[in-house]
């Protein structure tokens, strides 16, 4: 089974948008431990998300957060706003899992992680999600000699098999990230995640590429998209930006315009038919305005991608002519600027 989320190559790509609900919640870091704003129960975060023009779906953390955030309250907020639950992200990275979820040294805690994902999957199926998002953020290590890497690898494979095998019709997307909260995370790159997926051996497990994670992991995000597409394993993407040394989760295109465009071009060529999904942490910005800024930038970059002559770009790439390929983009960006051909 090919679980790439893609339509027919060449057809019009999506102009729809979605977002992780956490970007409308409350942000805490290790300094502002009282949070950068008031607590926002998830149903209110859904209502805030619904004020962003063009946003049609949300990725929901589970358990739902905040007072009164029951399944019925979340469902009511979704119904009231018309937003759809696109994915569920089980919180297998909280204090209980500080030494790991699937890779925790205590088998009881490992089982709790698997049980939490199972409960989240039931809720996801009730809400009709497209996929489950698995981010085992605490699975890894901090210090040299702390853990046996081969054992962690085996436990991760085992955990993913246990959560995904009972639901062959539902995609499970592993989101990789190089580090944070651990100094070394197990699913740290596109290549390691694809290698693990080979070991997992299930058709319904694939990859979620977070643009920022790929950037600060030293990858070319576009090359990672192409690798995951080639393997038939790209389930979804997260969009944001950073300065390449940390997961800053800034607005789309705020730092790396050209690499974001290249990422979009790879997805466009594949006929990307899912909403363009935002994953941001606007600590000091208004979350609704930050989502609007990203959607405006994405719309502009998708327009720009449409104006780029595919055949000329393909011809430049055929010759691996860097300046000619970049000229096609810079002429569209800066108009009168003529680049060498
Ligand atoms: Fe993400
Ligand atoms: Fe992130």
- Taking residue 323's Cβ as centre, other Cβ atoms within 10 Å add up to 11
State the pLDDT at residue 335.
Answer: 80
Give the pLDDT score at 340: 58
Instruction: Give the pLDDT confidence score for residue 324 in this predicted structure.
Output: 93
Q: Where exactly are the structural domains of the chain?
A: 17-306, 308-341
The residue with tokens 């698995």 is 134
Q: Residue 281: phi, psi to the nearest 5?
A: -125, 85
Strand partners, 131: 87
CA 249 to chain centre: 11
Strand 140-141 and strand 131-134: the pairing is unpaired
Please give the distance, rounded to the nearest whole angstrom, from the Cα atom of residue 213 to the centre of ligand 2: 6
Q: Which bound ligand lies closest to the C-alpha atom of 247?
A: 2
* Dist. CA 239 → ligand 2 center (Å): 10
Q: Cα of 238 to ligand 2 centre, how many Å?
A: 9
CATH fold label, 17-306: TIM Barrel (3.20.20)
Q: What is the pLDDT of residue 6?
A: 53
Global pTM reads 0.96
pLDDT at 4: 73
Closest listed ligand to the CA of 216: 2
Nearest-angstrom CA–CA distance, 73 and 25: 16
Residues 6 or more apart from 231 whose CB is under 8 A from it? 194, 197
| Cα 213 to averaged position of ligand 1 atoms, centre (Å) | 7
Which ligand is located closest to the Cα atom of residue 87? 1
Alpha carbon of 238 to ligand 1 centroid (Å): 5
Closest-approaching ligand to the CA atom of 209: 1
Question: Distance from the CA of 135 to the center of ligand 2, in angstroms?
Answer: 10
- What is the per-residue pLDDT for 228? 98
Which residue is it, tokens 């901090």? 142
CA of 236 to the centre of ligand 2 (A): 14
CA of 317 to the centre of ligand 2 (A): 31
CA of 328 to the centre of ligand 2 (A): 31
**Beta strand 131-134 pairing with 172-175:** parallel
DSSP string, 69-124: --HHHHHHHHHHHT-EEEEEEE-TTSGGGTT-STT-SSHHHHHHHHHHHHHHHHHH
* Ligand lying nearest the CA atom of residue 210: 1
Q: Which residues of the chain have pLDDT under 50?
A: none
What is the CA(279)–ligand 1 centre distance, in A? 5
What are the tokens at 292? 């609007």
């Amino acid at each position: 089974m090919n679980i790439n989320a893609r339509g027919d190559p060449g057809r019009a790509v999506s102009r729809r948008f979605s977002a992780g609900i956490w970007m409308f919640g409350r942000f805490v870091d290790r300094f502002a431990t009282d949070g950068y704003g008031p607590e926002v129960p998830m149903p209110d975060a859904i209502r805030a998300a619904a004020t962003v023009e063009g946003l049609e779906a949300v990725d929901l953390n589970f358990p739902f957060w905040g007072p009164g955030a029951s399944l019925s309250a979340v469902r009511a907020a979704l119904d009231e706003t018309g937003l759809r639950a696109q994915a569920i992200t089980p919180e297998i990275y909280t204090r209980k899992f500080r030494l790991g979820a699937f890779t925790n040294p205590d088998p009881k805690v490992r089982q709790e992680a698997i049980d939490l994902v199972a409960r989240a999957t039931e809720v996801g199926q009730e809400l009709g999600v497209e996929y489950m998002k698995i981010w085992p953020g605490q699975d890894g290590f901090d210090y040299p000699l702390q853990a046996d890497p081969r054992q962690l690898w085996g436990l991760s494979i085992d955990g993913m098999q246990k959560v995904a095998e009972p639901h062959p019709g539902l995609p499970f997307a592993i989101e990789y990230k190089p580090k944070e909260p651990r100094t070394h995370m197990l699913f740290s790159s596109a290549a390691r995640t694809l290698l693990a997926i080979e070991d997992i051996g299930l058709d319904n497990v694939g990859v979620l590429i977070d643009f920022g994670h790929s950037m600060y992991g030293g990858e070319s995000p576009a090359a990672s998209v192409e690798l995951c597409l080639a393997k038939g394993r790209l389930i979804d993407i997260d969009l944001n930006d950073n300065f390449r040394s940390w997961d800053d989760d800034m607005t789309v295109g705020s730092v790396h315009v050209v690499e974001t465009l290249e990422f979009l071009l790879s997805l466009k060529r594949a006929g990307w038919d899912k909403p363009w999904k935002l994953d941001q942490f606007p600590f000091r910005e208004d979350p609704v305005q930050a989502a609007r800024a990203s959607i405006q930038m994405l719309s502009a970059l998708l327009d720009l991608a449409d104006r780029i002559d595919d055949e000329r770009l393909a011809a430049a790439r055929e010759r691996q002519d860097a300046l000619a390929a970049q000229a096609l983009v810079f002429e569209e960006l800066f108009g009168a600027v003529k680049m060498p051909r």
